[in-house]
């Protein structure tokens, strides 16, 4: 495995809530183009970690860098989104009354003035970009459907597509396959795998079979720091990991 340099580097990050350490000297290094899965029991600190990366929560100590030199702790939440970190929350939030195509159009233009936005003309290049994203999320055939009529899985893919319209370098994805059918889960694995390389992707997920199907490298969080890291077999056979999951 060759390294391409960091897309994300958290060093010695701690976050306390009323004296309780949600993150405890967390170190996390994500290589550019990597697809990383983060697992860990409830309360391990996964959400807090995502909140720190996106500027929603400020760590008490530690450093957070994006790429070689951008200090994320100097940027606020909108600025962090602006420089290329896209976050997908667990629940899909699409514009239900707008078509799939329009949802991607709105995402491309940003949130300023929804009504005005849909009346402005698209350039050929913008149209091509939307078509390209439609194809990559497997929704070309649904482009004219109101998003509210999509299946749960299709809404999740649309939301990933909406993030892609903003050309993120790093995608943070929270429990993408929760509530999905087996077929949808499989297609989500293909989608996220296809995004890696061109993007860096960090996925928080509980579904172990899914994690196994997509991740080359898995990080196990426990009590706010890294308990184990490596490929799925290594991690699952690690006695400390077994104890946390079975003994907990
Ligand atoms: P995970 O996402 O892995 O389940 P979280 O990051 O949500 O873990 O939570 C880590 C710990 O921090 C939990 O014990 C949780 O109760 C606590 N915690 C998270 N956010 C807050 C908050 N805003 N105030 C107080 N405690 C919090």
CA distance 242 to 128: 48
What tokens were used for 138? 């497997």
pLDDT bucket at 91, cuts 50 / 70 / 90: confident
Q: Which residue has a Cα nearest atom 27 of ligand 1?
A: 17
Q: Which residue has a Cα nearest atom 20 of ligand 1?
A: 48
pLDDT single digits (tens) 132-141: 999 999 999 9
Minimum-distance ligand 1 atom for the alpha carbon of 45? 6
CB 69 within 8 A of CB 30: no
Distance in Å, CA 21 to ligand 1 centroid: 9
Looking at residue 112, what is its pLDDT? 57
pLDDT bucket at 116, cuts 50 / 70 / 90: low
Q: Check whether 118 has a pLDDT greater than 70.
A: no
Q: Check whether 92 has a pLDDT greater than 80.
A: no
Ligand 1 pocket, residues with Cβ under 6 angstroms: 17, 22, 40, 42-48
Please give the ipTM for the structure prediction. Answer: 0.95
Q: Could you tell me which residue, 81 or 247, shows the higher pLDDT?
A: 81
Please state, as a whole number, how many other Cβ atoms lie within 10 Å of the Cβ of residue 156: 27
Looking at residue 4, what is its pLDDT? 80
pLDDT single digits (tens) 166-215: 999 999 999 999 999 999 999 999 999 999 989 999 999 988 889 999 98
Please state, as a whole number, how many other Cβ atoms lie within 10 Å of the Cβ of residue 129: 18
pLDDT bucket at 111, cuts 50 / 70 / 90: low
CA distance 5 to 49: 21
- CA-based nearest residue to 88, from 219, 203, 212: 203
Looking at residue 216, what is its pLDDT? 85
All CATH 3.40.50.300 domain ranges in the chain, comma separated: 6-94+169-247
Q: Which residue has a Cα nearest atom 26 of ligand 1?
A: 17
Q: Could you tell me which residue, 54 or 244, shows the higher pLDDT?
A: 54
For the domain covering 6-94+169-247, report its CATH number. 3.40.50.300
Looking at residue 1, what is its pLDDT? 54
Q: Check whether 86 has a pLDDT greater than 60.
A: yes
Looking at residue 120, what is its pLDDT? 76
Q: Check whether 125 has a pLDDT greater than 90.
A: yes
């Amino acid at each position: 495995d060759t390294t391409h340099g960091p897309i994300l580097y958290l060093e010695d990050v701690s976050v306390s809530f009323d004296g309780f350490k949600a993150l405890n000297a967390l170190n996390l290094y994500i290589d550019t183009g990597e697809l990383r899965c983060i697992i860990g029991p409830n309360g391990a600190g996964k959400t807090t970690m995502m909140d720190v990366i996106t500027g929603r929560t400020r760590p008490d100590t530690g450093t957070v860098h994006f790429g070689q030199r951008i200090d994320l702790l100097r940027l606020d939440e909108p600025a962090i989104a602006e420089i290329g970190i896209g976050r997908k929350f667990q629940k899909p939030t699409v514009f239900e009354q707008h078509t799939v195509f329009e949802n991607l159009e709105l995402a491309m233009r940003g949130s300023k003035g929804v009504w005005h936005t849909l009346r402005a003309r698209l350039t050929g290049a913008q149209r091509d970009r939307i078509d390209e994203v439609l194809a990559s999320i497997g929704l070309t055939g649904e482009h004219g459907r109101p998003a509210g009529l999509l299946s749960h899985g299709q809404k999740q893919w649309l939301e990933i597509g909406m993030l892609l319209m903003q050309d993120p370098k790093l995608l943070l994805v929270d429990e993408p396959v929760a509530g999905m059918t087996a077929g949808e889960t499989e297609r989500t694995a293909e989608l996220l795998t296809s995004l890696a390389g061109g993007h860096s992707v960090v996925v928080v997920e509980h579904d172990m079979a899914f994690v196994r199907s997509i991740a080359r490298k898995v990080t196990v969080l426990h009590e706010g720091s890294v308990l184990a890291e490596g490929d799925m077999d290594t991690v699952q056979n690690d006695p400390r990991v077994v104890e946390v999951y079975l003994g907990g």
